Chain A
């Protein structure tokens, strides 16, 4: 079936898969959001244990999605992998380092003789909870605001030194961190705003997950208070980012030649020219708003699923805005023609076909994850039933 698709259609399909994994990842960052709230929502050690177990049952899912997101990007758009990971070195390593610390912390935290002490592992979880959503948001924002790199494939056979022979060069000494102070089109404001929006969204989703899955009046009362604050901050930063996005110049691609050029209001044009994406974005934002309304004013458990669905739809449409409709998804401010598009950075047609068949496993994977999720979330967590659990963090 994938053999019949054109190369262009396969590239678009795979950008869709990357978008889907990215959307799933942002939704699952609610675990990270939860990790920044352990102290705020708990009044004693027993309550904290409830919260740690609540999010601890899900941390591996977020972690695995991140790893698969990376692997899928490598397989389908290897030039992005070579350019971004090999260039924005510090941004990616700080994110990865935060995940390394997370991976041991749930398991080691409450064990005796754990060498670093319980508080240290809780600090690791907090660090992961702040850094990962924020920097992932900043990194995704640079898909619209650009980075400083150059790509020249003939360097491999022409350069006079082995370092110069690397096809992708990052052209700043900050290796990605400059996204936080890049003044081109006030990019730093945009990047930081999306970083903060993702951070507060992760917290909002975490608070609604607490509402859905915790049976403890004290924790729930605190989480209701936190929800208002975090929802407002999320909306401020996200709307600032989105509205500004509609007005900035974007990185357009000339369909015939592949030449990249700056176009005013490119992302607004993308919305107009891709009404399905515009609808998805509107539906996503609406679902998040309905979820917030139900969570804040109606105190409903199912609010979580509204914001979850809204998160997935919104992130999907953001990725579509970045890559579809003749747009460079990883633009270079150093050399416009080095910008990455889904056409110039993808794997070969054959590989995309092979990977297309692999992607048919995704519904099956989603199905067993849903089964396990339901099984583990069937009963709400409380101090009493945590006590009865044979295994806990």
Chain B
């Protein structure tokens, strides 16, 4: 392509990043707190102990405040695929639209119908119906996460489809391959368990704050007990599924793995950098270099369960490594260009009614389709296909280190609640309160790793972001960007203030 409007691409990306990151501030709490509320109501239903009803109602109030703003920030994301990523919507709409529609029919209606019963149905439905509604809200919100993560996983590892040259789009051929895409299964489990971890941190942090203020001691301790068990199980599951996710990344997105670990030169027995920093380095592209404390062989083990296995580095992927059968980006760009030209020639031949020629071009196209997206970088520097390494590295390592801290925190809280020493351990209570923003940071860093690490691909290897855009003015995108920035920021401030005042009031006595 002779001309690229990078400004439009970057502002479209910035808007999606902004809206997605704002949305994700609220979603994890909805996913996990809904289950904890259902558990609390179940205990109340079984025991008839009014204490649990009061505990549930307090958390339900906070849940409602959070849910509203989660819904507000979420609606934009679905429609943004059309408004700002129009080419993408056509190129893969046949596959990508389906999970979004299923999400609406299967999950959103369940969530929105039963949330009304959960909040306003106390005196209007039986206790049992109310309890079932609580569980259906939790199931509905988690089902919604399933479908949107299936859609996201498909972008990272496109499967179950074939490209139709007549309609110029990818078409679904195997629904089960889309649903049970290995990346989808791991991504779903990793994302929801990390969301549960954050929700548990929220309950613990709020309860810890109440204990520090000497308020609602009994309720706070009971809440902490439920949350520490829930959080411990969740964070263990997050770590296990995170390991699974890393293996999927190693297999399907080797450049992302290299960026996550700052691995420039591929190695057998590759080490894992436990802690490191990005230093400027003008001699290499990208212009930085990661140095840090290395744990020998660990990256090979984590990625392939084999301490001696070769893990390709950024240079291997960009420049190619014949020894390990890795083609260079330049080769893939050439191959992608052949695919693009063959498709154009196929359409011309079809228009001219020359079936024989059309079939020849189609054969060429099919042979090179796996590199289709690279073709759009024809005539450009292949280094442009490297994601931002430092940002991916820092995000990934921040997330992992914080995950380790949360595991320790949940164990300490559980032990302290069980032996009734939690009130005396002010340092632990303060650490629990401070861990809440850290939990949010870990959540956002997880998404930054997943999404920045796969740049520039909107669909791995098939469609780069530069060609996925809409035919709109950059000024318009800038305007909507700032509109959402100001609106979401104002609503976030409102949410935090309302939450703070609700928490200050404490549990109903």
Q: Which of A71, A79, A85, A378 contacts B83 (CB 8 A)?
A: A85
Q: Is the CB of A90 within 8 A of B3?
A: no
Alpha-carbon separation in the docked complex, A79 to B88 (Å): 11
Q: Is the CB of A111 within 8 A of B79?
A: no
CB distance from B430 to the nearest CB of A (A): 24
Q: Mark A59-96, 1 if CB is under 8 A from B, else 0.
A: 01101101110111111101101111111011011001
Residues of B within 8 A of A379 (CB): 124
Q: Which of A87, A158, A167, A175 contacts B90 (CB 8 A)?
A: A167
Q: Which of A74, A93, A162 contacts B5 (CB 8 A)?
A: A162
Query: Which residue of chain B has its CB nearest to the CB of A168?
Result: B86
A236 in the interface, Cβ–Cβ < 8 Å?
Answer: no
Residues of A within 8 A of B124 (CB): 375-376, 378-379
Q: Mark A110-131, 1 if CB is under 8 A from B, else 0.
A: 0111111000000000000000
Residues of B within 8 A of A90 (CB): 476
A262 in the interface, Cβ–Cβ < 8 Å?
Answer: no
Scan residues 56-112 of chain B and give those whose CB is less than 8 A from a CB of chain A. Answer: 57, 64-65, 67-69, 71-73, 75-76, 78-79, 81-87, 89-91, 93-98, 100-106, 108-112
Q: Is the CB of B2 within 8 A of A389?
A: no
A153 in the interface, Cβ–Cβ < 8 Å?
Answer: yes
Alpha-carbon separation in the docked complex, A348 to B75 (Å): 26
Q: Is the CB of A161 within 8 A of B471?
A: no
A154 in the interface, Cβ–Cβ < 8 Å?
Answer: yes
Q: Is the CB of B500 within 8 A of A108?
A: no
Residues of A within 8 A of B494 (CB): 104, 108, 114-116
Residue tally, chain B, CB below 8 Å to A? 96
* Contact A167 to B173, CB < 8 A, known contacts A86-B471, A111-B65: no
B246 in the interface, Cβ–Cβ < 8 Å?
Answer: no
Q: Is the CB of B100 within 8 A of A93?
A: no
* Contact A89 to B172, CB < 8 A, known contacts A68-B104, A358-B101: no
Q: Mark B462-473, 1 if CB is under 8 A from A, else 0.
A: 000011011111
Q: Is the CB of A86 within 8 A of B89?
A: yes
| Interface size range on A against B | 35 or more
Q: Is the CB of B491 within 8 A of A82?
A: no
Partner-contacting stretch, out of B115-123, B226-234, B326-334, B412-420: B115-123
Q: Which of B76, B472, B497 contacts A86 (CB 8 A)?
A: B472
Q: Is the CB of B466 within 8 A of A64?
A: no
Residues of B within 8 A of A67 (CB): 75, 78, 104, 108
Residues of B within 8 A of A63 (CB): 71, 75, 112
Q: Is the CB of B86 within 8 A of A83?
A: yes
CB distance from B235 to the nearest CB of A (A): 30
CB distance from A369 to the nearest CB of B (A): 5
Q: Is the CB of B75 within 8 A of A96?
A: yes
B305 in the interface, Cβ–Cβ < 8 Å?
Answer: no
* Contact A347 to B471, CB < 8 A, known contacts A87-B86, A90-B476, A113-B498: no
B458 in the interface, Cβ–Cβ < 8 Å?
Answer: no
Scan residues 257-274 of chain A and give those whose CB is less than 8 A from a CB of chain B. Answer: none
Query: Which residue of chain B has its CB nearest to the CB of A60?
Result: B112
Q: Mark A147-167, 1 if CB is under 8 A from B, else 0.
A: 000000110111111111111
Alpha-carbon separation in the docked complex, A85 to B112 (Å): 25
Query: Which residue of chain A has its CB nearest to the CB of B73?
Result: A100
* Contact A85 to B79, CB < 8 A, known contacts A60-B71, A64-B108, A166-B471: yes
B167 in the interface, Cβ–Cβ < 8 Å?
Answer: yes
B282 in the interface, Cβ–Cβ < 8 Å?
Answer: no
A103 in the interface, Cβ–Cβ < 8 Å?
Answer: yes
Q: Is the CB of B75 within 8 A of A100?
A: yes
A243 in the interface, Cβ–Cβ < 8 Å?
Answer: no
Among B75, B168, B171, B376, chain A packs the most CB atoms within 10 A around the CB of: B75
CB distance from A157 to the nearest CB of B (A): 4
Residues of A within 8 A of B98 (CB): 75, 347, 351, 354-355, 358
Q: Which of A116, A158, A165, A375 contacts B87 (CB 8 A)?
A: A165
Alpha-carbon separation in the docked complex, A68 to B112 (Å): 12
Q: Is the CB of B87 within 8 A of A114?
A: no
Alpha-carbon separation in the docked complex, A113 to B467 (Å): 45
Q: Which of A96, A100, A114, A351 contacts B498 (CB 8 A)?
A: A114
CB distance from B104 to the nearest CB of A (A): 3
Q: Is the CB of A78 within 8 A of B97?
A: yes
A1 in the interface, Cβ–Cβ < 8 Å?
Answer: no
Residues of B within 8 A of A320 (CB): none
Partner-contacting stretch, out of B214-222, B317-325, B339-347: B339-347
Q: Is the CB of A74 within 8 A of B121?
A: no
B284 in the interface, Cβ–Cβ < 8 Å?
Answer: no
Q: Is the CB of B168 within 8 A of A167?
A: yes
Among A76, A87, A166, chain B packs the most CB atoms within 10 A around the CB of: A166
Q: Is the CB of A156 within 8 A of B87?
A: yes
CB distance from A199 to the nearest CB of B (A): 21
Q: Is the CB of B171 within 8 A of A111?
A: no
Q: Is the CB of B493 within 8 A of A115?
A: yes
* Contact A163 to B8, CB < 8 A, known contacts A104-B494, A116-B494: yes
Q: Is the CB of A61 within 8 A of B120?
A: no
Residues of A within 8 A of B110 (CB): 365, 368
Q: Is the CB of B172 within 8 A of A354?
A: yes
Query: Which residue of chain B has its CB nearest to the CB of A369?
Result: B113
Scan residues 235-256 of chain A and give those whose CB is less than 8 A from a CB of chain B. Answer: none
Q: Is the CB of A369 within 8 A of B109?
A: yes
B352 in the interface, Cβ–Cβ < 8 Å?
Answer: no
CB distance from A213 to the nearest CB of B (A): 13
B487 in the interface, Cβ–Cβ < 8 Å?
Answer: yes
A39 in the interface, Cβ–Cβ < 8 Å?
Answer: no
* Contact A390 to B93, CB < 8 A, known contacts A63-B71, A163-B5: no
Residues of A within 8 A of B493 (CB): 115
CB distance from A268 to the nearest CB of B (A): 32
* Contact A107 to B86, CB < 8 A, known contacts A63-B112, A67-B75: no
Alpha-carbon separation in the docked complex, A66 to B495 (Å): 24
Residues of A within 8 A of B171 (CB): 347-348, 350-351
Residues of A within 8 A of B480 (CB): 93
Among A81, A85, A157, A168, chain B packs the most CB atoms within 10 A around the CB of: A157
CB distance from A306 to the nearest CB of B (A): 24
CB distance from A151 to the nearest CB of B (A): 9
Q: Which of B72, B119, B343, B500 contacts A157 (CB 8 A)?
A: B343
A57 in the interface, Cβ–Cβ < 8 Å?
Answer: yes
Alpha-carbon separation in the docked complex, A108 to B480 (Å): 24
CB distance from A381 to the nearest CB of B (A): 11
Among A71, A161, A162, A163, chain B packs the most CB atoms within 10 A around the CB of: A162
Residues of B within 8 A of A66 (CB): 75
Alpha-carbon separation in the docked complex, A97 to B122 (Å): 32
Among B101, B109, B168, chain A packs the most CB atoms within 10 A around the CB of: B101
Alpha-carbon separation in the docked complex, A75 to B472 (Å): 23
Alpha-carbon separation in the docked complex, A173 to B498 (Å): 41
Q: Is the CB of A375 within 8 A of B101?
A: no
Residues of B within 8 A of A348 (CB): 94, 164, 167, 171-172
* Contact A168 to B90, CB < 8 A, known contacts A64-B112, A163-B471, A347-B97: yes
5 contacts between A and B (CB under 8 A): A63-B112, A67-B104, A96-B76, A350-B171, A389-B123
9 new A-B contacts, CB < 8 A, other than A107-B65, A163-B3, A368-B109, are: A78-B97, A100-B75, A104-B491, A111-B498, A161-B2, A163-B469, A163-B471, A165-B467, A368-B110
- Among all A-B residue pairs, the 10 with the closest Cβ atoms: A78-B93, A85-B82, A86-B86, A68-B104, A74-B97, A75-B97, A103-B72, A161-B3, A107-B68, A115-B494
